[in-house]
Structure 1
Amino acid sequence: MIGLFIAVLAIVSGVVGALVGLGGGIILVPALLYFGISLGYIDDLTPQKIVGLSVVMMIFTGLSSTLSHIKAKTVDYRSGFIFFMGSVPGTIVGAYINKKLNVEAFELYFGILMIILAIVLLVRDRLKPVQWFVNHGYKRVFTDKEGKQYTYGYPIWFAILATFGVGIISGMFGIGGGSMIIPMMLVLFLFPAHVAVPTSMFLVFLTSIVNSYAHFSLGHIPWQYVIPVSIGALIGGKLGADLNKRFSSKTIVLFLRIMLLVMGIRSIVSSIL
């Protein structure tokens, strides 16, 4: 029963994560914190094992989503690998920081992070694009199916530095980093939205492989739950990627803002009481 429940959580996480490019960990981690630790429905879960399970899930969510987007040719592989260069050392540092966090500290910091991410999601559509980064950086050009051309770009040093910070947070809390990097891609680097989400999921896939190895070496992977999470993530990632092509993600993002605020507040309160 527990395996089936975790698989369902992974499907939901994969759908939402792939739909808006967040990777899914932002759903799975607070859900497992609540059901597994706060309510005690799942035995032997710690913040470290939850993060380890989340990063394994994101390998399959990212892979499933990326494979789906390959056909549409909307993945910017070069940018993905450049961002990956910064993320790799960041995820390793984050995994070692995670090792030192107890339940109360993890819930407090994770709650604060969720509230910050909810605010970022709230204001990201209202922020005005910044042309400076494109003018002073590595430029890319994308032409969509209608023949419309988009020019975007970034200073490589800045992208690597920024993704290093994103990698630390990803390694600490088991989230894909898309919730942080997509606003940066859209507002600072002027990525077209239909390139930003697939490229973010490609980065989630690459980063999660390194992240999983780091947590594996620290003994943070609860192997008994890996199979249901992997199957659920593959299904959810494929469904989310398909929905991303067909529907606007505004409703999902609105729901996500509310959920992040509620779960963030709950996590902070739980760490204090």
Structure 2
Amino acid sequence: MDVINTLGLFIGSLISNTLASLSGGGAGLIQFPLLIFLGLPFSIALATHKVASVALGVGAAIKHIRSGSLNWTLAAYVVAAGSLGVILGANVILFVPGRIAEALLGGLIVGLGLYSLFQKELGQTEQPQHRNHVGMLLGGLGLALIGILNGSLTAGTGLFVTLFLVRWFGFDYKRAVALTLVSVGLFWNGIGAVTMYTAGAEIYWPWIPVLLLGSLLGGYLGAHLATQKSNRLIKRCFELLTFVIGFKLLFGF
């Protein structure tokens, strides 16, 4: 790429990952379409995006660890619960046309935003629930289903995990976003990238350094903002991103 395209790729990656790190998902909203716009075929763009998104989790993890807002036991639970789903989804997407699935996912994501919008106090304070053995088992099944979406589609599934952690386990938005960014951004996306690569998907390695830098810095910056801002602001950012991503997937623009 020339200097202008390289700069555009970096800025797009930085912006998308900053928003995702603040809101709990959605880095693919800008980054994935940008890769296609710059000339990569769908499958190569998807695999390349998955690899780059791992740096989002690294950047977020560094900040959340430093701030003491991350519970590694809970993060390990989310990783374990969703991993099999991620592997299954990453294998399936290589053989399934994505347009109908993306439209359905878009409708679901818009529904998430509407639900959060009308539940005024959702995620504003932590209210622990469903954290006994039965609740953790059922929660693990829910995360496994979201993992299938994460492995197979490009954007928005981190938002599912964020809202699921808020609604099912009673986390506030700050805690849920921290868990999502580390579990999904670092581990789920890493597992998905490795699975797609071993299944035959091609990664465009020349663009990876620029994408990794943008994802790493964006992940750290978004996590920094998330630790400084209120749960209500994070909730509003989450809702805004669900509407933008949802309508994009739904209508394909």
Interval containing the TM-score (normalised by the shorter chain)? 0.7 to 0.9
Query: Deviation at 1:167?
Result: 0.6
The letter of the residue matching 2:218 is: G
Please state if 1:236 is matched with 2:218: yes
What residue is the counterpart of 2:190 in the other structure? 209
Structure 2 unaligned blocks of 5 or more: none
Q: CA deviation at 1:223?
A: 2.2
CA offsets per residue over residues 211-250 of structure 1, 9 Å max, x none? 1101222314232322211110011111111111222364
Whether the aligned pair in 2 keeps the contact of 1:122 and 1:257 (CA below 8 Å) is: yes
Q: Kindly state the Cα deviation for residue 264 of structure 1 after the two structures are TM-superposed.
A: 3.5
CA gap 1:100/1:118 in 2 versus in 1, 3 angstroms = farther
Q: Any idea what SS the aligned residue of 2:69 has?
A: coil
TM-score by length of 1: 0.77
The Cα offsets for residues 161-188 of structure 1, whole Å up to 9 and x where unpaired, read as: 1111111111111347431122222232
User: Which has the larger Rg?
Assistant: 1
Asked if 1:58 corresponds to 2:24, the answer is no
1:167 to 114, 132, 147: 147
Which of the pair is proportionally richer in helix? 2
Partner residue of 2:25?
Answer: 22
Per mean C-alpha deviation after superposition, the further-off stretch among 191-200 and 119-128 is 119-128
- Cα distance, 1:261–1:220 mapped onto 2, change above 3 Å: farther
Q: Distance in 2 between matches of 1:203 and 1:132?
A: 20
Match for residue 88 of structure 1? 83
State how far apart, in whole Å, the 2-side matches of 1:181 and 1:253 are. Answer: 14
- Pick closer, same or farther for the CA change 1:93–1:228 going to 2, 3 Å: same
In 1, the alpha carbon distance for the partners of 2:215 and 2:65 equals: 18
* Cα 1:111–1:79 shift into 2, 3 Å: same
Q: Which has the higher strand share?
A: 1
**What is the CA-CA distance between 1:130 and the residue it aligns to?**
7.7
Structure 1 residues 74-96: Cα deviation after superposition (integer angstroms, max 9, x where no partner): 11111111121121110111112
CA contact (8 A) 2:226 2:234 kept: no
Partner secondary structure for residue 155 of structure 1 = helix
Provide closer, same or farther for how the CA distance between residues 180 and 108 of structure 1 changes in structure 2, counting only shifts above 3 A. closer
Pick the aligned partner of 1:178 from 155, 158, 162: 158
Q: How does 1:70-149 map to 2 (within 5 A)?
A: 70-102=65-97, 104-105=99-100, 107-123=102-118, 125-127=120-122, 133-134=130-131, 137=132
Of stretches 95-104 and 78-87 in structure 1, the one that deviates more from structure 2 is 95-104
Task: Quote the Cα distance in structure 1 between the aligned partners of 2:173 and 2:249.
Answer: 31
The alpha-carbon deviation at position 5 of structure 1 amounts to 1.7
The alpha-carbon distance between structure 1 residues 216 and 116, as it changes in their structure 2 partners (threshold 3 A), is: farther
In structure 2, the CA distance between the partners of 1:124 and 1:6, relative to structure 1 (3 Å rule), is farther
**Structure 1 stretch 92-101 or stretch 107-116: which is displaced more?**
107-116
- Equivalent position SS for 2:41: coil
| SS of residue paired to 1:101 | coil
User: Is 1:43 the equivalent of 2:39?
Assistant: yes
**Identity over aligned pairs, percent:** 19
**What code does the residue aligned with 1:237 have?**
G
Q: TM-score, normalised by structure 2?
A: 0.82
Q: String of CA shifts for 1:182-218, please: whole Å, max 9, x gaps.
A: 2222232122443322222221212121111012223
Contact 1:215–1:221 under 8 Å retained in 2: no
> Following TM superposition, by how much is the alpha carbon of 1:100 offset from its aligned partner in structure 2, in angstroms?
2.2
Report matched runs for 1:240-255 at 5 Å.
240-248=222-230, 250-251=232-233, 253-254=235-236
Change over 3 Å in CA distance of 1:259–1:206 after alignment to 2: closer
